[in-house]
Amino acid sequence: MPEMPEVETVRRGLIAQVKGRKITNVEIRYPNLITGDVDQFKEFVTGATIDDVGRRAKFLLIHLDNGYTIISHLRMEGRYRISADPSAIDKHSHAIFTLDNGQKLIYNDVRKFGRMQLWNTDDLENNKSIQKLGPEPLSDAFTFNNLKPRIMRHRKDIKTVLLDQSVMSGLGNIYVDEVLWKVKIHPETPANHLNDIDIQNIIEVSNEEMEKAIIAGGSTVRSYVDATGHKGNMQNSLKVYGKEGTPCPRCGTEIKKIKVNGRGTHFCPKCQVVK
Ligand SMILES: [Zn+2]
């Protein structure tokens, strides 16, 4: 699943190629892709110019010049491609936006879990999906005072709490494992057992990990590629995710993989202790 750094990489790839372009035609081949009325979506998007491409957590925000924004969630396998070549369109291309320079912005989604929704730009914070998102790394709201009460009010394990997008948003399974390894906290530690230093460490390391991952262009786990078809290389610097059976880069103990609340979880049994 693309995580926040991958979505940010897609955003940067898209903005360079679509900002300022007018959408001259919209084709929706898989109507369930659109949350809401498909005809209305096409009507409002056709003829609009793309003002900007933003992001909130894992949601891409394609801002149009008519006061509307396309909220796009890639979910498991969604990707954008930009091409003028008709052969770039295949059976997995579910939305095709023709741009005024002859290029097509093509949304592909093998598993069809991704969704798009048109929403009033001034009212984005009231959108049901966006409203419930907690503060995200590298944003002004990602502070100790904001995060501490959100984390500490939970008695369940810290892994599950950090994955909960209403507590903090943007970190998925890969980066939560990486962050917990860095801060030396066992993923099954009850969230309310953490102390202030732990919370501060989680904030700092989450910021660092996200920044590093964005620079690296995201992780290539599964079939992620950015809008221009480039694979990210963050997977080369992952320390624990997918590394079960290999030595911990810090202490040499074998990395273990367990299930925490149903999610595959990687950790070092020696340097990550339950509190
Ligand atoms: Zn270790």
Q: Which of 63, 97, 130 is the last residue of a domain?
A: 130
pLDDT at site 9: 86
Same domain, 259 and 181: yes
- Say whether 263 is catalytic: yes
Q: Does residue 275 fall inside a structural domain? A: no
Q: Does residue 94 fall inside a structural domain? A: yes
Beta-carbon neighbours within 5 Å of ion ligand 1: 248, 250-251, 253, 268, 270-271
Question: Exactly one of 21, 75, 263, 270 is catalytic; which is it?
Answer: 263
Residue 149 CA to ligand 1 centre (angstroms)? 29
Question: Exactly one of 3, 136, 178, 209 is catalytic; which is it?
Answer: 3
Question: Exactly one of 2, 135, 137, 187 is catalytic; which is it?
Answer: 2
- Say whether 2 is catalytic: yes
Residue 9 CA to ligand 1 centre (angstroms)? 31
Same domain, 105 and 149: no
Please state, in angstroms and rounded to a whole number, the distance separating the CA atoms of residues 134 and 238.
Answer: 25
Please state, in angstroms and rounded to a whole number, the distance separating the CA atoms of residues 25 and 48.
Answer: 10
Classify the phi-psi angles of 49: left when phi > 0, otherwise alpha if psi is within -120 to 50, otherwise beta: beta
Q: Does residue 234 fall inside a structural domain? A: yes
Find out whether 73 and 115 touch, Cβ atoms under 8 Å. yes
Q: What's the sign of the alpha-carbon dihedral 81, 56, 16, 119? A: positive
Distances (CA, A) of 86 to 144, 215, 223: 50, 31, 22
- pLDDT tens-digit profile, the chain (275 residues): 677 888 888 898 899 999 999 999 999 999 999 999 999 999 999 999 999 999 999 899 999 999 999 999 998 889 999 999 999 999 999 999 999 999 999 999 999 999 999 999 999 999 999 999 999 999 999 999 999 999 999 999 999 999 999 999 988 899 999 999 999 999 999 999 999 999 999 999 999 998 888 887 765 444 345 555 555 666 667 899 999 999 999 999 999 999 999 999 999 999 998 98
Residue 260 CA to ligand 1 centre (angstroms)? 19
Q: Does residue 139 fall inside a structural domain? A: no
Q: Which of 106, 130, 154 is the last residue of a domain?
A: 130
Helix (H) or strand (E) segment spanning residue 114 = none
Same domain, 152 and 260: yes
- Say whether 86 is catalytic: no
Find out whether 117 and 37 touch, Cβ atoms under 8 Å. no
Is 29 labeled as ligand-binding?
no
Q: Does residue 230 fall inside a structural domain? A: yes
Same domain, 107 and 150: no
Same domain, 119 and 167: no
Question: Exactly one of 58, 79, 115, 182 is catalytic; which is it?
Answer: 58
Domain ranges, residue 98 = 4-130
Q: Is 150 exposed, middle or buried (0-12, 13-18, 19+ CB in 10 A)?
A: middle
Same domain, 150 and 173: yes
Is 92 labeled as ligand-binding?
yes
Same domain, 124 and 149: no
Q: What values do phi and psi take at 16, rounded to 5?
A: -65, -25
Q: Does residue 273 fall inside a structural domain? A: no
Q: Which of 130, 159, 181 is the last residue of a domain?
A: 130
pLDDT at site 236: 67
Same domain, 102 and 168: no
Residue 234 CA to ligand 1 centre (angstroms)? 21
What is the tally of structural domains in the chain?
Answer: 2
Same domain, 92 and 9: yes
Same domain, 59 and 171: no
Same domain, 19 and 107: yes
Same domain, 121 and 206: no
Residue 251 CA to ligand 1 centre (angstroms)? 4
What is the pairing mode between strands 93-99 and 79-83? unpaired
Domain holding 113: CATH number? 3.20.190.10
